Each structure stands twice: as C-alpha cells, then as structure tokens.
C-alpha cells in the first residue's frame, strides 16, 4: 500500500493523489462527495469544531464571519503585505498580528499555516480512509514563484497536519511531470499555470538520457497574487458599483456579499462556454431596490456578454504576459522556439486566457489534461520518485528569485541568481569592520531589486566573533537553497575551523518553537486521527461480538446443554481470550483480526441456535403452512 | 536586531573562493592533495577524490576547496564543449541529486546536498563564457573586490557623453511635458546609442573569447608564470571594460522601457 501521497494545496481547491503501482500511473483520491476537489475553505463552528471543504463552503453564505477561503494568499506574509488584499477579501486579521498574520474565525484566532493544516488534515483523512491505513508522508506543491517564507509556511502547515513533508514541488513542474508521463513528448515546453490565486510560467526542457527522462526547468516567473480570484473580484467590483449607484450598499451584509460572489462565479463559469449569461441575485432585506426597475424589485438582474466580460478581465489576463516574456528571456528562447504550451489551473478555462496564450506562442495550447488534477497527479509521481518507485524520471528545478545579502548602504549583493538549478549554494566570507566587534549581522533577502528595502527580507542572524583587531576574523558562511527551494545557512570560523550554529529567525513566519507549540495545541483541538478512530471502532466491534458470544453461550447452556463439542468449546474460549487481550492493546488491526477469528469460532454455535429457533417455529405451525 | 547606523555593516570579502585564500598555485594540477589522499569512511578504501567510493559505492564527502573544473573532471581551460558539459551535468545529476537519497541516512543525504549543489553551481558558471573567465581569475586570486572595477573604454567616451546629454534632455522633457515630436526624437537618439553599445558589447565578448583561446594555447604549450599572469591581467582588463559597457546597455534599456 502506498503511504506517500502528493498534495496540491490550492487557493480554491485542494487535491490528494497517489501513484497506483499496479497501473503505473497517478490517480486522485475522491472525497466523501465523490469528487477529488476539496474546496480550500475552512469554517469554525460555534462549539469550536473545524469544518473543511464542501460543508465549509456552504457556510460561506450563512456563517461568513466564521469561514475563510483563499487563505493561500496569506501564507508567509506579514500584516503590512496584505493591506491591498484586505480591501477585496473578507479576511478578518487580528489587530495584534505582528510578523505573522493571525486570522479571526468566530471567537478563535489562527495563523495561515494552521488554517492550511486543517485543509491538509482533511485530505489526509480521505487518503487514510481510501487506503484503510495511515498516510503520513507527502509531497506538497507550491506556486513556482513562492518565496522562501511562503514555502516555509507551507511546510509548517504540513507538519501541523501530522505529515512529514518530503519535498515541496513547484506546481508547473509537477504539471510537466504528469504531462510528460502522459504524452511521452520531448523538447521545449512552456507550462502556463493560472490558478485561483497565483500565476506561474515555467519553461522546461524534456530530455531523454540513457538513465531516463530529465525534466529540466530553464526558467520560471510569475505572480503569487494573480488568479481567478481577481476575475471574481473585478466582476464583484462592477456589480457593487452598479448597485451602489442604485442606492444599495452591501457593506453591511457580509453573507449577501458571499451570495453575490457565488452568483458571479457561476456567471464566470458559464461564460467559459456561452456567448452571454445573466446574473440574477436576490438583494438583502431592506435594500432599496426600487431603482432596479418595476419588474425585478428585489433582484439584481444583469446580462453580461462575452465581449463585455473580455473587456473587464483583459487587464488581469494581460498581467500574466510580463512574467511570460521574462521567463522566455531568462531561458534565452523566443516564443517560436517553444514546441508545446501546456495549460494548467482552473483559470485557463477562460476563453480570453486561451486565445491570448495561443496568439503569443503562435500555437494551439495543449489542454487535454484535466487542469484541476494535473498538479496533484505530478506531485504523486514525485512522491513515488522519492520513495524509490519511479526511477527513470528526474526533475531539475530552479529557484525563482535571486538570493542576496545586504551590504554597505543597504545595497543587495546577489549571491545566487534567479533560475539557478536547485540545490544551489554560495559561500561568502565575512570579517569585522571595527576593533573588538563581537558580532557580524547578516541580513538575507530575496528578490531582483538593487536595494534591500525593495527586496523580501528572509532572515537576519548574527555571526559571533571573538574580539580582535578589525578584519582579522574570517567567517565563511554557506547559503544553500535545497531541492524544496528553502534556504539553509551554515557558518564556519576559518581560523579555528569551528562550525557555528546559526539561529536564523525568519522575518515572516513561525520559528520552530512556535510550530511545536501549535502542534501540541492542534492535537488537543483536532478530531481524533485515523488510527485512534479505527481503534475505537474496532474496540466497539469487539465488544459487540464478545457480548453476543456470551449471550449465545448462556442461551445454549439453557436450551441445549452439552450440545457443544469439547473441541469447539476449546477453540471458542481461546478466541475469546485472544480478543480480550487484543482489546487491551492499541493495535486496531490485531483487534479486527481476532474479531474475525471469534466470528469463525462461533459459527457452529450460531448455526445450532438458528436450527433450534427454526425447529421451535416449525413446531408451533401446521405442516401446511411450511 | 535591526541595522542601525551605529552598528557596523557586515564586511564582505569577494570573491569567496577558498583557493584564493590559500594562495594556491592555480597552474598546478587541478585536484587538491586532500582529495586524492581521501579514504572512504564506510570501507576505508582509497577514493582518489571520486564522487563515489570505487569499492563500496557510497557517496563521498566533498573535499574543501574542490574547484568547479576538477569537479567536472576538466582541465582549467576556457574553451569548453558545451554539449559535452551538459551531458556530463545530466549524468552527474542522475547520480548525485537528493531525490535518489531521500531514503538514505542523514549523512548521505547531506553529502548528496553538498555534491549536487556544487554540481549545479559549477554547471551554472562553466556554461557561461564570461562567468567562466571570472571564476578562473577568482581561483588565481586575481579578481578580489578591490580589483573588480568598471573601466570606461576611451573609444566610447564621446558616445557616453552624448548619451548623458540625451538622458538629461529626456528627463527634462518628461518633467515639463515635452511635445510628442520632441520625445520621439530623443527616443530615436537613445535607440541609436543602444545599438552602438550593443555592438560594443558584442565586440568585447569577441575579444574575451580571443584572449580565452590564447590562455588555452599558453596552457598547452606550458607557458611560464609571467606569460600566464600577463594573460590574466589582460582578461581582467577586458572584464572591467565589459562590465562598464554592460551597465550602459542595461541603463539605456531601462530608460527606453520607461519612456
Ligand atoms: Zn567505500
């Protein structure tokens, strides 16, 4: 049974998949509603219990204050970063948030990794159920353009969900893996991944070598805050503006805003195929809808044609093309040199997106794969590669952003350029600038800009140096970006040869201690996990069987003492004792096994009871009735 | 731990190649003695500095100061067969990538991380003809922070002077809302300058390629230290000039993008 899964932790939907070893292909695991798509929505009930997925999405309309969607937008970001987001998204950020954002849901407060962990935990329970076994290792996908803090937040979410995160894989690369497996194609491929909240473009080279196929990423670019959400928001802004002109203000009706959002998303989906659609949406009670016309007094009624829709969303779609051009330039390729364009992500269903991409590359994009599932499927393949299953595929990914350190005057010295194949490293030598300086402060940043203030601060730490004349110390620091795109730092004093332990404090995110603390808390609050649940169920089942056996024995003793052969009695007693012992332990599989043994051992007994009951029934009837 | 004015800024030494500190004679054999005398921690067999123990197959620690050329098993030459380099990169990636050590011991996982990151760093540097020269000079201790500067080529001084004038005019015109015709004229001037600088960049790249070839030839014919040092000084000078022109090209490109 495979115990390592691939997870696509998406802005709108999340999925979990595994590599089916028998069929040699990845498959998505369906949830309780029959679909593998789990809405990335989390809600907190009045009693404090956590609701995830489809039921949580329904609560957006009735319990919007207790429910959150698109939490991926908040991962790895500080309160100051999300001010623009707050104008559009109904996130209720706790005012006490410092470096790490805290979101209020009802009367409880959570960090984005904790909320994401609830989604991961839900998906994990689907897999546990599917395999009837505990799944505890996973590959999780992230947008290729995620920075270090966003990646760390995702990894923390995995840990909080009780998963060992073997690797973070970039979403377009995962998609390429699934695509390559499916199509057996080689050459230069562009993956255009337009999801619910993020946009990525990756340029890859698919190469056949004697050892197997290499998927080498040449360049990647994107925007971690651009997605289908923005299309929804543009439509919403239009509707609310029209409504406010008519004297209807929805600001005081958060549930109604969600109702409107739902209606507009439905319209968006319709416009993927139809030439026009009509938005019909009931206005809140007390809304002065007289201006909306006599016929639809309390309903917002609006026709949208494809042409108008295209006009509204054109600026959003155009924003994807800057990153596309940059990625091509970085790969030193022209659009004509791309041999295949693969579309990934739900937003690539939008006709304007398809036509824009087709026009740019001068070729029809490949859209045969299910754009919702392909990322999770690729993650499952990568999970199997790490488990040693698939051994003829190798993924060489890159870091999306340059890594730098702050130097004199707040200028950033780039030490690992963007699009370097990971793992990548850089060694830097540091010394003291003044006499008897005891520490050297290092500020690590990510980004393409010249000045530290314009780049993303990743971490600050201090190198300790023994006091001495300026410039005497020689500290070598090794910065390493691992295969998940996460920074590791190690330092060594070259004069003493001593390794330094570096305590890197993330600028935005949780430190290890905080994650540990949350992990403890989450266990208190979380539903019982799968094995615990299984143990309880198995014990209940065992209790039922034991009681039934006792009753049956007592009854036979009463009705037909001596009917049971000694051999049978011996086996039965043995089975009862073994099951009692198993129930005292914690292995639910062992309990289940002895339940089966006892059921087997009681079969002759049950048969005799049936016969006696049947005999008694026959005795009381006339022959004609039989 | 904020950076305040009173706190000394980190003082960074560049480039940070260990070899440059050790003042090693870079003309000698590429592998360090530490590498060739190494033995396998697992089975004690001599490893000869190989990636894997020839006896038991375990991945080996990376000797400190391993340079990019020797990692790829290449001489310290500036002409590199890119196709061959890529093939070698792919075949080493299969062997060293962390994917294949996901279930190995912590030690082996670390060694895979060390070796595969060096592999990627080395490939990134060696496949680029300019980075390759910079790296070679760095190995020889020829391109430290102080020795790295931009040098204005005399033949470009006239153009640079004109460019600065055009840029000033452009900024003024932009600030005062100049006419479309005036803006277009300035833009055309900038574009002409851009072409000129791009041509200079191509020329300096060719020059670098020529000196690189000279270097390889000198190495083959066993040239003495003085001759080699002279060639390196020449390369250093070409790099400084290149860096100046490169900045010009980028600067004008940015101005054009903004206007
Ligand atoms: Zn060995």
Please tell me the predicted confidence (pLDDT) of residue A611. Answer: 78
Does residue B82 sit at the A interface (CB-CB below 8 Å)? no
Q: What is the DSSP letter of A421?
A: B
Q: Is the pLDDT of residue A533 over 90?
A: no
* Residue B24 at interface with chain A, using a CB cutoff of 8 Å: no
Worst-scoring range by mean pLDDT, A330-339, A378-387, B97-106, B169-178? B169-178
Q: What confidence score (pLDDT) does residue B259 get?
A: 67
Would you say how long chain B is, in residues?
Answer: 259
Question: Cβ(A422)–Cβ(A409) under 8 Å?
Answer: no
CA–CA separation, A252 and B206 (whole Å): 68
Write out chain A residues lying below 8 Å of B21, CB-based: 429, 474, 494
What pLDDT, on a 0 to 100 scale, did the predictor assign at position A289? 46
Residue B76 is predicted with a pLDDT of 92
**For residues B229-240, b (16+ Cβ closer than 10 Å) or e, as one string?**
eebbebbbebbb
Q: Do B98 and A494 touch (CB under 8 A)?
A: no
**C-beta separation of B76 from B63 below 8 A:** no
Q: If you search the block for the tokens 């260990």, which residue do you land on?
A: B18
- Mean of pLDDT values over A487-513: 80
Higher pLDDT, A284 or A169: A169
Helix (H, G, I), strand (E, B) or coil at A61: helix
- Asked if residue A444 has pLDDT above 60, the reply is yes
Please report the beta strands in A160-263, taking only residues with DSSP state E, as ranges in sequence order.
Answer: 164-170, 187-194, 199-208, 213-223
* Residues of A with active-site annotation: 8, 72, 171, 193
Q: Do B90 and A423 touch (CB under 8 A)?
A: no
Please indicate whether residue B239 or residue B5 has the higher confidence score (pLDDT). Answer: B239
Angle, alpha carbons A296-A300-A305 (nearest 5°): 110
Please give the pLDDT value at position B204.
Answer: 94
- A9-20 pLDDT, tens digit per residue, is 999 999 999 999
Q: Please report the residues numbered 98 through 157 in chain A whose beta carbons come closer than 8 angstroms to any beta carbon of chain B.
A: none
pLDDT tops 70 at residue B23: no
Distance CA A378, CA A86 (A): 33
Closest Cβ–Cβ partner in B16, B17, B117 for A424: B117
Q: Per residue in B115-145, pLDDT tens? A: 999 999 999 999 999 999 999 999 988 876 5
Best mutation site among B99, B103, B131 for testing chain A: the one with the most A CBs within 10 Å?
B99
Distance B221 CA to ligand 1 centre (A): 38
Counting every residue written for chain A, the total comes to 626
B22 inside 8 A of chain A by CB? no
The single-letter DSSP state of residue A348 is G
E strand or H helix at A141, and its extent? Answer: strand A137-142
Q: Nearest by CB to B8, which of A424, A434, A460?
A: A434
Contact in structure between B242 and B205 (CB atoms under 8 Å): yes
Query: DSSP for A67-125?
Result: EEE-GGGGTT--GGGGHHHHHHS---B-TT--SS--EEETTEEE-HHHHHHHHHHHHHH
Distance from CA of A442 to the nearest CA of B (A): 7
Q: Does A574 touch chain B (CB under 8 A)?
A: no
Interhelix angle A512-525/A112-131, nearest 10 degrees: 50
Residue A214 to residue B121, Cβ atoms within 8 A: no
Q: Is the pLDDT of residue A115 over 60?
A: yes
Cα atoms in the Cβ-side hemisphere of radius 13 Å centred on A375 = 31
pLDDT at B4: 29
Chain B residues whose beta carbon lies within 8 Å of the beta carbon of residue A491: none
Q: Is A231 exposed, middle or buried (0-12, 13-18, 19+ CB in 10 A)?
A: buried
* Cα B52 to averaged position of ligand 1 atoms, centre (Å): 8
- Probe site for chain B from A3, A214, A393, A423 (most B CB atoms < 10 A): A423
Q: What is the DSSP letter of A288?
A: -
Q: Token pair for residue A582?
A: 């198993």
Query: Could you say which of B12, B102, B113 has the minimum Cβ distance to residue A386?
Result: B102
| The pLDDT of residue A294 is above 50 | no
Report the mean per-residue pLDDT for chain B.
81
Which alpha helices (DSSP H) does A246-302 contain, by range? 254-270
Q: Residue A386 pLDDT more than 90?
A: yes
Residues in A closer than 8 angstroms to B141, CB to CB, are none
Highest mean pLDDT among A316-325, A457-466, B224-233: A316-325
Question: Ligand 1: distance of its center to the CA of B93 in Å?
Answer: 21
Pick the residue of B14, B15, B117, B251 with the most A CBs within 10 A to test the interface with A by mutation: B117
In tens, the pLDDT along A128-148 reads 999 998 899 999 999 999 999
> A463 to chain B: nearest residue by CA?
B10
Cβ A485 vs Cβ A424: under 8 Å = no
What separation in Å is there between the alpha carbon of A478 and the centre of ligand 1?
27
Token pair for residue B116?
Answer: 């595969």
Q: Tell how far the Cα of B48 is from the centroid of ligand 1, in angstroms.
A: 11
pLDDT at B147 > cutoff 70: no
- Closest chain A C-alpha to B242 CA, distance in angstroms: 19
pLDDT digits (tens, 9 = 90+) for A71-105: 999 999 988 888 888 877 888 888 877 778 899 99
Rounded mean pLDDT, B14-39: 39
Chain B residues in contact with A405 by the CB 8 A cut-off are 10, 12
DSSP chain B: ----TTSPPPEEESS--HHHHTT--TTS-SS-HHHHT-B-TTT--B-TT-SB-TTT--B-PPPTT--HHHHTT--S-S---HHHHHHHHHHHHHHH-GGGGTTS-HHHHHHHHHHHHHHHHHHHHHTSHHHHHHHHHHHTT---GGG------GGGHHHHHHHHHHHHHHHHHHHHT--HHHHHHHHHHHHHHHHHHHHHHHHHHHHHHHHHHHHHHHHHTT--HHHHHHHHHHHHHHHHHHHHHHHHHHHHHHHHHH-
Interface ipTM: 0.83
Residue A360 has φ and ψ, to the nearest 5°, of -65, -45
Does any CB of chain B come closer than 8 Å to the CB of residue A242?
Answer: no
The lowest-confidence range among A36-45, A78-87, B143-152, B162-171 is: B143-152
Question: What is the layout of strands, in order, in the sheet containing A393-396?
Answer: A340-344, A187-194, A199-208, A213-223, A393-396
Count of A-B CB contacts under 8 Å: 113
Determine the distance from the C-alpha atom of residue A525 to the mean position of all C-alpha atoms in its chain, rounded to a whole number: 20
More confident residue, A10 or B255: A10
Strands A393-396 and A213-223: parallel
Question: How does pLDDT run across A580-620, given as a tens digit for each residue?
Answer: 999 988 888 888 888 888 888 888 888 887 777 777 666 65
CB atoms within 10 A of CB A598: 25
| DSSP three-state, residue A508 | coil
Question: How far does residue B35's CA lie from ligand 1's centre (Å)?
Answer: 15
Contact A507, A460 (CB under 8 A): yes
Q: What mean pLDDT value characterizes chain A?
A: 87
Contact A413 B12 (CB under 8 A): yes
Whether A119 has a pLDDT exceeding 90, the answer reads: yes
């Amino acid at each position: 049974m495979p115990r390592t899964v691939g997870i696509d932790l998406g802005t709108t939907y999340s999925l979990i998949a595994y590599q089916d070893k028998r069929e040699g292909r990845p498959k998505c695991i369906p949830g309780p509603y029959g679909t593998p798509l789990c809405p990335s929505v989390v809600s907190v009930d009045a009693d404090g219990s956590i609701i995830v997925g489809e039921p949580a999405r329904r609560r957006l309309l009735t319990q919007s204050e207790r429910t959150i969607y698109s939490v991926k937008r908040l991962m790895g970001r500080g309160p100051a970063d999300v001010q623009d987001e707050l104008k559009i998204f109904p996130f209720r950020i706790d005012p006490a948030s410092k470096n790490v954002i805290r979101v209020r849901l009802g009367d409880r407060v959570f960090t984005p990794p904790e909320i994401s962990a609830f989604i991961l935990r839900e998906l994990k329970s689907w897999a546990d159920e599917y395999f009837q076994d505990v799944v505890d290792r996973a590959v999780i996908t992230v947008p290729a353009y995620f920075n270090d803090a966003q990646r760390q937040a995702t990894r923390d979410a995995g840990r909080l969900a009780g998963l060992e995160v073997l690797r973070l894989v970039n979403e377009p690369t995962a998609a390429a893996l699934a695509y390559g497996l499916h199509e057996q194609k080689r050459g230069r491929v562009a993956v255009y991944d337009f999801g619910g909240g993020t946009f990525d473009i990756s340029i890859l080279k698919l190469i056949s070598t004697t050892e197997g196929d290499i998927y080498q990423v040449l360049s990647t670019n994107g925007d971690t805050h651009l997605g289908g959400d923005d299309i929804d928001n543009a439509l919403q802004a239009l509707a609310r503006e029209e409504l406010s002109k008519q004297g209807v203000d929805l600001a005081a009706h958060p549930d109604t805003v969600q109702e409107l959002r739902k209606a507009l998303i439905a319209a968006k989906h319709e416009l993927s195929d139809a030439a026009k659609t009509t938005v019909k949406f009931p206005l809140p009670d007390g809304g002065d809808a007289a201006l909306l016309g006599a016929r639809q007094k309390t309903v917002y009624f609006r026709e949208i044609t494809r042409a108008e829709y295209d006009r509204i969303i054109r600026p959003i779609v155009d924003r994807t093309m800057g990153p596309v051009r940059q990625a091509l330039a970085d790969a030193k390729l022209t659009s004509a040199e791309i041999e295949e364009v693969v579309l990934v992500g739900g937003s690539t269903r939008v006709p304007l997106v398809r036509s824009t991409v087709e026009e740019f590359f001068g070729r029809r994009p490949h859209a045969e794969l299910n754009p919702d599932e392909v990322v999770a499927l690729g993650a499952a393949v990568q999970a199997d590669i790490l488990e040693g299953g698939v051994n003829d595929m190798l993924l060489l990914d890159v870091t999306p952003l340059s890594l730098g350190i702050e130097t004199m005057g707040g200028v950033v010295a780039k030490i690992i350029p963007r699009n370097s194949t990971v793992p990548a490293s850089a060694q830097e030598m540091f010394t003291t600038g003044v006499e008897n300086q005891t520490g050297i402060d290092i500020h690590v940043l990510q980004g393409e800009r010249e000045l530290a203030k314009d780049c993303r601060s990743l971490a600050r730490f201090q190198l300790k140096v023994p006091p001495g004349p300026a410039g005497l110390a020689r500290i070598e620091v090794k910065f390493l970006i691992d295969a998940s795109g996460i920074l590791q730092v190690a330092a060594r004093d070259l004069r003493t040869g001593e390794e330094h332990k570096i305590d890197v404090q993330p600028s935005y995110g949780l430190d290890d201690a905080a994650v540990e603390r949350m992990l403890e808390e989450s266990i208190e609050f979380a539903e019982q996990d799968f094995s615990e649940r299984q143990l309880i169920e198995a014990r209940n089942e065992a209790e039922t069987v034991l009681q039934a056996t006792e009753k049956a024995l007592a009854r036979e003793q009463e009705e037909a003492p001596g009917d049971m052969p000694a051999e049978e009695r011996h086996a039965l007693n043995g089975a009862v004792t073994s099951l009692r012992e198993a129930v005292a332990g914690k292995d639910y599989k062992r309990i289940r096994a002895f339940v089966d043994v006892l059921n087997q051992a009681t079969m002759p007994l049950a048969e005799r009871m049936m016969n006696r009951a049947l005999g008694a029934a026959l005795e009381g009837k006339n022959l004609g009735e039989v | 731990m904020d950076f305040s004015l009173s706190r000394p800024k980190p003082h960074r030494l560049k480039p940070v190649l260990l070899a440059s500190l050790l003042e090693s004679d870079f003309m000698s054999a590429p592998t360090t003695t530490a590498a060739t005398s190494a033995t396998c921690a697992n089975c004690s067999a001599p490893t000869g500095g190989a990636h894997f123990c020839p006896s038991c197959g375990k991945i080996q620690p990376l000797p400190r100061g391993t340079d990019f050329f020797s990692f790829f098993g290449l001489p310290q030459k500036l002409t590199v067969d890119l196709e061959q380099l890529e093939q070698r990169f792919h075949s080493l990636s299969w062997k060293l990538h962390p994917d294949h050590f996901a279930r190995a011991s912590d030690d082996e996982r670390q060694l895979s991380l060390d070796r595969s990151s060096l592999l990627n760093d080395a490939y990134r540097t060696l496949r680029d003809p300019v980075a390759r020269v910079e790296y070679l000079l760095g190995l020889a201790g020829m391109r430290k922070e102080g020795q790295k500067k931009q040098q204005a080529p005399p033949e470009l001084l006239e153009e640079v002077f004109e460019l600065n004038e055009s840029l000033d005019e452009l900024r003024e015109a932009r600030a005062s809302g100049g006419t479309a015709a005036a803006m277009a004229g300035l833009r055309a001037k900038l574009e002409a300058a851009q072409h000129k600088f791009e041509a200079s960049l191509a020329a300096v790249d060719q020059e670098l390629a020529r000196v690189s070839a000279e270097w390889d030839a000198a190495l083959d014919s066993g040239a003495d230290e003085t001759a080699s040092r002279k060639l390196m000084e020449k390369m250093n000078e070409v790099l400084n000039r290149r860096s100046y022109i490169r900045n010009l090209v980028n600067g004008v490109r940015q101005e054009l993008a903004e206007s």
